[in-house]
A = this chain, B = another copy of it.
Amino acid sequence: MAEDRPGTDGGMAWEGISPTLEDVAARAKVSTATVSRCLNAPQRVSERTRERVMEAVRALGYAPHFGARALAANRTNTFGAIIPTMENAIFARGLQAFQEELGRHGITLLVASSSYSPELEEEQIRTLIARGAEAVLLIGQDRTPESYTLLRRRRIPHVVAWTNARGEGPVSIGFDNRKAMAALTARVLEQGHRRLALVSAPRAGNDRARERAEGVSEAMAAHGVPPADLVLIETPYSITNGAEAFARLMARRPRPTAVLCGNDVLAAGALRQAREMGIDVPGEVSVTGFDDIELAEIVTPALTTVHVPHRAMGAGAARKLMALRNGEDVGASEELEATIVWRESLGPAAVG
């Protein structure tokens, strides 16, 4: 049963191996060049031959070899994105919008995650480049200098999102984390809270976390509360970690009356722990989040948080990158607004 090679026999080609341009050409009795044209510039081929070729393509189940195409044409129609994590939904909506916008223009997205590690991110950048990413979306500003060197050397357009970078450096599209967190903190202070705690993500290698923490201090100072009084716990984003951090905070005497969380996931964990400990939110303690993901309105009590323009950032980043790839100018960085969403988890400070 084992035949030799498919060769140019007009019969059923041997199944089991990826057909190539040559196989299609043989079956359609044309040259490989013509097949290639049928696929890439159909209008440059006569109707009759095109039909014959397409028929052969279908019959053989032919699909062009991506690597070979990248090699020969030096283009891939592929963009890359590196996000810190896929484990929670923080980046899901933004990435979805990014993807949709690219998809509309026939561009494929390659996603990698860095686990909040600059070294890992540098590695991922290398991988994306090797795989032919023509443009790259990055989150935030903290990364190794080599990461930027790599991208610049290869002339690969890149944009940083989830942050607002003034001045030189890469083009950014995002919001001012410090300003947003300061505004939220101001609201908390206006409710009479003076003993504040912040559950932050580890700030090393995470400029968003750092800026949010700075925002808290800034607002405290502006309201005449010594920033040094802030109780700060660093812990990676996860519900469990949020719960643990909250428990530790509640063990202090005196207790903080407001617990600000670096994002909604930590805040959800804090709420779970509060319920478990029988602590009333916001009656005894207020809790706030950051991001306004769907989770924020599901939990009880619903979270007061900062609404981040996820979709706008994702779509905007896609448009900027496509423009850059096409050699157009996209101007300076773009600042979007983050707004405060007041829900039930923030209330007035208890007397005393």
Partner of A272, one of B110, B127, B132, B297: B297
Shortest CB–CB separation between residue A159 and chain B, in angstroms? 20
Q: How far is the CA of A239 from the CA of B89 in the complex (A)?
A: 13
Assess whether B298 is in contact with A63, with CB atoms less than 8 Å apart: no
Given A86-B96, A87-B93, 6 other A-B residues pairs in contact with their CB atoms under 8 A: A61-B153, A66-B67, A66-B132, A108-B127, A295-B298, A298-B298
Give the shortest distance, in Å, between A16 (CB) and chain B (any CB). 6
**A178–B65 CA distance with the chains assembled, in angstroms:** 40
State whether A154 touches B18 (Cβ < 8 A): yes
User: Is A192 engaged at the interface, CB distance under 8 Å to the other chain?
Assistant: no
Within 55-98 of A, Cβ neighbours of B (below 8 Å) are at 61, 63-71, 76, 86-89, 92-93, 95-96
Docked-complex contact A92 and B96, CB < 8 angstroms: no
Chain B neighbourhood of A294, CB < 8 A: 239
Q: Establish whether residues B300 and A131, one from each chain, have CB atoms under 8 Å apart when the complex forms.
A: no
Q: Given A15-B153, A239-B298, A298-B268, is A71 in contact with B63 using a C-beta cutoff of 8 Å?
A: no
Whole-angstrom CA separation of A70 from B132 in the bound complex: 12
| A334–chain B nearest beta-carbon distance, Å | 25
Q: Are B64 and A67 in contact (CB under 8 A)?
A: no
B153→A16 contact, CB < 8 A: yes
Give the residues in chain B near A86, CB-CB below 8 Å.
86, 92, 95-96
A–B pairs, 7, beta carbons within 8 Å:
A16-B153, A16-B155, A61-B149, A66-B70, A87-B96, A88-B89, A272-B298
Question: In the complex the two chains form, what is the Cα distance from A86 to B98 in whole Å?
Answer: 13
In the complex, A126 has a CB within 8 A of chain B: yes
CA distance A18 to B134 in the complex (A): 12
> In this complex, what residue of B is CB-closest to A86?
B92
- Measured in the bound complex, the distance between the Cα atoms of B238 and A89 in whole Å is 13
Give the number of copies in the complex: 2
Q: Which residues of A contact B (CB under 8 A)?
A: 15-18, 61, 63-71, 76, 86-89, 92-93, 95-96, 108, 110-111, 126-127, 129-132, 149-150, 153-155, 239, 268, 271-272, 275, 294-295, 297-300
CA distance A130 to B67 in the complex (A): 8
Chain B residue contacts of A88, Cβ below 8 A? 89, 92
Given known pairs A68-B67, A87-B92, A89-B88, the reply for A295 and B297 (CB within 8 Å) is no
Complex: how many Å from CA A108 to CA B124? 11
The 10 closest A-B pairs by CB, nearest first: A67-B67, A300-B300, A67-B70, A63-B130, A66-B130, A66-B131, A67-B71, A63-B126, A268-B298, A15-B153
Inter-chain contact A111/B108, CB cutoff 8 Å? no
Task: A93 to B86: give the CA distance in the assembly, Å.
Answer: 9
A87 to B92, CA, bound (A): 6
A150, A154, A294: residue with the most chain B Cβ atoms closer than 10 Å: A294
Residues on B with C-beta less than 8 A from A64 are 130
Indicate the member of A64, A65, A271 with the most B CB atoms within 10 Å: A65
A108 cross-chain contacts in B, Cβ below 8 A:
127
Determine the distance from Cα of A64 to Cα of B61 in the docked complex, in whole angstroms. 30
